[in-house]
Structure 1
Amino acid sequence: MLRKIISSSALAVALAAGAQAYAASGGKAKISVVYDQKLPNVPGKSMRAVLVEYGPGGTSPGHTHPDSAFIYATVLDGAIRSQVNDGPVKTYKAGESFSEFPGDHHSVSENASKTKPARLLAVFVLNTDEKELTTDDK
């Protein structure tokens, strides 16, 4: 019984810490480059992978990517709501994927849940000299 109380208390502390970190981020997604490699057989092109982590209710502002970028995204955990260009808003669950083509506008990108986190992996093929992967709408 004591072990159960301690485990519950530890979980509550961890959730509170996560909620504080998420609140400090303003509800925005945490984005980390997890892979960056020049393509040896395609001069001037690279592959970069980005891990996008959303807290409960988390969002990313509308945005575009470099004109050279082709993107393939897979939801790792949870569910992500997404809209590209004038297409429908779709919800993708863990294991589902979508793509974005050069010049596309990603107007909706958010966690579909207000209570659970979500993560996606976005793999870019783009010009090696691109520095900024995302340009937020103004």
Structure 2
Amino acid sequence: MNTRFALGAVLAAIAFATPAAAHDPGDVVTPHFDHQIPNIPGKTLTALIVDYPPGGSSVPHSHAKSSFIFAYVLSGEIESKVNDGPTETYRAGESWYEPPASRHLVSRNASKTKPARLLAVFVADSDEKELTTPIK
């Protein structure tokens, strides 16, 4: 595991795992894949699995200026709001993308009784140290 990935994974886990409120359980982020893209010098592909418990959410956050993100719902339903767009609900098998430097204002499990799981795939500059930063 390279240093950039380890640091990025720790920062992502901290950003994603911090509950939005004391009564609102957070999410669990698990690094899944990290590899430089051989035919696109200076770019790295990073994949994370985000598990939301029932009622779980991520804190509002922004993404790295270079990062293009593809999100795919593996199970359950996820509510997401990116930048000034509407809050959308995505079900298992559905996906969306986030352009570079996006502000992810809502990211939560739509269900209060069932867990949800998301695959987040980042393409970012290899020297980008922080993939997510909490919005204060």
TM-score calculated relative to the size of structure 2: 0.81
The superposition leaves residues 38-82 of structure 1 with CA deviations (integer Å, 9 ceiling, x where unpaired) of: 001111100000100000000001111100000000000000000
Which residue number in structure 2 is paired with residue 98 of structure 1? 96
What is aligned with 1:29? 27
| Equivalent residue number for residue 41 of structure 1 | 39
Number of residues of Structure 1 aligned to a counterpart in Structure 2 = 114
Supply the distance in 1 between the matched residues of 2:33 and 2:102 (Cα, whole angstroms).
Answer: 22
**How far 1:107 moved relative to its partner?**
0.3
Q: Which residue of 2 aligns with 1:74?
A: 72
- TM (norm. structure 1) is 0.80
Letter in 2 for 1:57: G
Say whether residues 1:128 and 2:126 are aligned partners: yes
55-64 or 123-132, which deviates more: 123-132
Q: Any runs of at least 4 consecutive aligned residues in structure 1 with deviations exceeding 6 A, and if so which? A: none
Structure 2 distance, partners of 1:47, 1:134, is 15
Look up the SS of the partner of 2:38 in the other structure.
Answer: coil
C-alpha distance in structure 1 between counterparts of 2:120 and 2:74, whole Å = 10
Deviation, 1:114, is 0.2
Q: Which amino acid letter does the alignment assign opposite residue 94 of structure 1?
A: A
Q: Which has the larger radius of gyration?
A: 1
Cα deviation code 1:5-63 (max 9, x no counterpart)? xxxxxxxxxxxxxxxxxxxxx61110111000000111110000010000000000111
Please identify which structure carries the higher helix content: 1
- The runs of 5 or more residues in structure 2 that have no matched partner are 1-23
Unaligned runs of at least 5 residues, structure 1? 1-25
| % identity of equivalent residues | 56
> Cα RMSD (Å) of the superposition?
1.3
